Chain A
C-alpha cells in the first residue's frame, strides 16, 4: 500500500493564481482531511469528508474548495492565491473507531505564494 499520497511536493504561486493540490489514499478510508500547518502553530482543519460525495468545512475554509467524487481522491482547490495561504498542506485519512481514529498523513505540499 502506498498509504496517503500528495502532489506536488513543492509549489510557488503568484498572487491571484489558482491550483489544485492532489491527495489520494489506497486504504479504503471513508474519512479524509485537509490541514494547513504554519510555523509555531497547530494543524488547522480546512475541509473534511466523511465519504464520497460528502464534504464539510473545517476551521479555516475561506479561499479553498474541495470535492470528493471517489473514496480514493480528495483534491483541494485554491482560487485566487494570497500570501496568507503560504503554508504546508497535509492531507490525512482514517477509517473507524478506537485506535482506528488514528489519522494517516501524506508527505505534505509546501506552498509559497508571492
Chain B
C-alpha cells in the first residue's frame, strides 16, 4: 500500500531551528512536496524535490533521499508565524498526490 509518515506534533522555540521528517512508501515517485497549512486555512506550497539533495529557499530548506524514501523540511530562525501544520505529499506514478497527515508545529516564545 501507499504510506506517508510524519510526526503528529513538534514544539520548538522562536529563533531556533526545527527539522520535520517524512518517510514514504508509494507506487512510483514523481516528486515530493511540502505544504504549509495554518489553522482554518488552505494548504500553501513550500517546496518540491524530485532529485536527491537539498533545496534552499530563504529560511526553509527541503531535503530528499529517494533511495531511503525520506525527506525533511528544515525551518531556520523560527518565527511565531511559522506555527502551522506542515504537510508532506508524494506524487505517485499516476501523478496524483498522496498526503501525509501533517505535522503540527508549535512555536514557543
**A positions within 8 Å CB-CB of B:** 40-45, 48, 58, 90, 98-99, 101-108
Contact = CB atoms under 8 A, between A and B. Distances in A.
B42 A105 contact: yes
Contacts, number: 46
Given A40-B101, A101-B48, A101-B91, A45 B96 contact: yes
Given A42-B101, A48-B96, A102 B4 contact: no
Nearest to A90: B42
B42 A42 contact: no
Given A48-B96, A58-B96, A101-B91, A41 B101 contact: yes
Interface of B: 4, 8, 30-31, 33, 41-45, 48, 50, 87, 89, 91, 95-102
A45 B8 CA distance: 21
Contact of B97 (A40, A41, A103, A104): A103
B44 A105 contact: yes
B69 to A, nearest CB: 16
Contacts of B100: 42
A99 B97 CA distance: 14
A104 to B, nearest CB: 8
